[in-house]
Structure 1
Amino acid sequence: MRENKYLQIYNEYSNQILSGQLVPGTKLPSESELAEAYSTSRETVRKALNLLFREGYIHKIKGRGSFVLDMTRMDFPVTGLISFKEMADTLGTASRTLVERTINETAGSTLARHLQIPPETLVWKVIRAREIEGDRIILDKDYFRADIVPFLSEEIAEGSLYEYLEQELGLKISYAKKLISVEPSTEEDHRLLDLKSYTHIVVVRNYVYLENTVLFQYTESRHRLDKFQFVDFARRVKR
């Protein structure tokens, strides 16, 4: 699928900022320079810069331009949708995915409530442990509506599911509602993760929607307490 020009600009600059190629304080090229470099309009460039601004990558100073913000604090952003592969690439550390289960079966009452579907609806259930630098510290439990995601496999689950969903299936993933809580760890947590002596775990529940506002994925991402800080970026809006 061909990427929109403004998303190309956004992705290239956000990746450069996250990877450290563009250090905090760096001034970005002007709108005119970017429009010429990407053979596009200033309106398209402005759309990309506004997205970088809203996501906390840059700060705009009137009359001076756009400058890179310090992103080192954003270890695991609360806002935004980022896959484990994208996060691991950003961290630059050794990581791997261990697939525990990939199965297609009926939702059942609890999952049906989360996905807002009848209990007899078929869903894909994908359980994966995430290992970073030798420690299994994240347990991802993903559930997808099978009428929207008709096929999954262990091989696909070992890679980036979002890469498969977006590039192979052509799904347009748009936004998510997130709930974060600290809960007692379960037997499954201790079996699949290296929890050490921790008795609690951070649980991030994601309700993920497509561009057409259809809820198609529910995820429980369970994190070891000592390994992550969850951060957000906020701007004060004057009223």
Structure 2
Amino acid sequence: MKKYEVIFQYLEQKILAGEYAAGDILPSENELTALLDTSRATVRRALVELENRGMIQKQRGRGSIVIKSDKLDFPISGLTSYKELVSALHFESLTDVVRFDKVEVDQKLADLTLLELGSMAWCIVRRRQIDGKFLVLDTDYIKFDVAPFLTAEIAQDSIYQYLEHDLNIDISFAQKEITIDFVSSYDAELLDLEEHDRHVVSVKSHVYLNDASVFQYTESRHQVDKFRFTEFARRQRR
């Protein structure tokens, strides 16, 4: 991990823990340089990253001000389980398994999931409660042969932890699509949406193993006002 990333995480944790509250001014670049025994350029880069994440606002003559945010940052790059996000973002969450059964992949499902026609798959629907409200609805189709002994109890905890640590399965990459969709009757039934909500944010993913075979299709539908979807992009010199 690079030094600016270490400093970014150090300051991020202090903000998330409330040691620097909304409206507080962070120590100056010179003070942070001395405190963290690093260069001013490294501190400045960490502060830029905090600003890009919407955690601070730099104001000329005042410094770096912590911004109040009631939105949760969900990274769209990378491949992270929901449980790992909860741990990284330090919020309380409860998972309710709405559906857990085995289905045969018909043509419509094969077209959607890219799983093999006629094969068997786990169909898992989970809703996630945050701050006392169900705000995320996850629907997963997982190739049955990959995890034939999967259970609802595992799904309530962490499927990826089970696959990687118990079954030693190597999950490689995902192709994602993000859309703004109209609220469906299923969303309205299972999520605690506001009266004014007409749309949800949908993140659809095909997830692949190391041999480049698809083993999972997932759609995660989010209440629009609670989440901010983020990505860190690096310019490639050409």
Specify the alignment match of 2:216 in structure 1.
Answer: 217
Contact 1:102/1:152 (8 A) holds in 2: no
Equivalent position amino acid for 2:79 in 1: L
Contact 2:175/2:207 (8 A) holds in 1: yes
Specify the alignment match of 2:123 in structure 1.
Answer: 125
Where do 5+ consecutive residues of structure 2 fail to align? 16-25, 55-71
- TM-superposed CA distance for 1:207, in Å, is 0.6
Specify the alignment match of 2:206 in structure 1.
Answer: 207
Deviations 1:38-59 (A, max 9, x none): xxxxxxxxxxxxxxxxxxxxxx
What are the equivalent positions in structure 2 for 1:82-121 lying under 5 Å apart? 82-121=80-119
Residues 1:196 and 1:22: Cα distance change in structure 2 (over 3 Å) = closer
What are the equivalent positions in structure 2 for 1:36-185 lying under 5 Å apart? 68=46, 69-70=49-50, 72-73=53-54, 75-185=73-183
Once residues 158 and 125 of structure 2 are traced to their aligned partners in structure 1, the CA distance between those partners, rounded to angstroms, is 13
Using the size of structure 1 for normalisation, the TM-score is 0.72
**2:185 is the alignment partner of 1:193:** no
Once residues 75 and 115 of structure 2 are traced to their aligned partners in structure 1, the CA distance between those partners, rounded to angstroms, is 29
Once residues 230 and 120 of structure 2 are traced to their aligned partners in structure 1, the CA distance between those partners, rounded to angstroms, is 35
Once residues 210 and 14 of structure 2 are traced to their aligned partners in structure 1, the CA distance between those partners, rounded to angstroms, is 31
Residues 1:29 and 1:85: Cα distance change in structure 2 (over 3 Å) = farther
Residues 1:192 and 1:108: Cα distance change in structure 2 (over 3 Å) = same
Where do 5+ consecutive residues of structure 1 fail to align? 1-8, 31-60
- TM-superposed CA distance for 1:18, in Å, is 8.0
Once residues 152 and 102 of structure 1 are traced to their aligned partners in structure 2, the CA distance between those partners, rounded to angstroms, is 10
Identity across matched positions, percent: 37
Residues 1:176 and 1:29: Cα distance change in structure 2 (over 3 Å) = farther
Specify the alignment match of 1:34 in structure 2.
Answer: none
- TM-superposed CA distance for 1:29, in Å, is 10
Equivalent position amino acid for 1:237 in 2: Q
- TM-superposed CA distance for 1:21, in Å, is 5.0
Deviations 1:198-229 (A, max 9, x none): 12111100110111111100000000011111
Once residues 169 and 218 of structure 2 are traced to their aligned partners in structure 1, the CA distance between those partners, rounded to angstroms, is 17
Specify the alignment match of 1:227 in structure 2.
Answer: 226
Count of aligned positions: 196
Equivalent position amino acid for 2:231 in 1: D
Once residues 142 and 157 of structure 2 are traced to their aligned partners in structure 1, the CA distance between those partners, rounded to angstroms, is 16
| Root-mean-square deviation (Å) | 3.0
Specify the alignment match of 2:69 in structure 1.
Answer: none
Residues 1:200 and 1:233: Cα distance change in structure 2 (over 3 Å) = same
Once residues 168 and 11 of structure 2 are traced to their aligned partners in structure 1, the CA distance between those partners, rounded to angstroms, is 27
SS in 1 for 2:107: helix
- TM-superposed CA distance for 1:115, in Å, is 3.1
Using the size of structure 2 for normalisation, the TM-score is 0.72
Once residues 78 and 29 of structure 1 are traced to their aligned partners in structure 2, the CA distance between those partners, rounded to angstroms, is 33
Deviations 1:97-142 (A, max 9, x none): 0000110110222221133334321000110000011010000001
Residues 1:18 and 1:230: Cα distance change in structure 2 (over 3 Å) = farther
SS in 2 for 1:164: helix
Equivalent position amino acid for 1:175 in 2: F
Once residues 19 and 138 of structure 1 are traced to their aligned partners in structure 2, the CA distance between those partners, rounded to angstroms, is 28
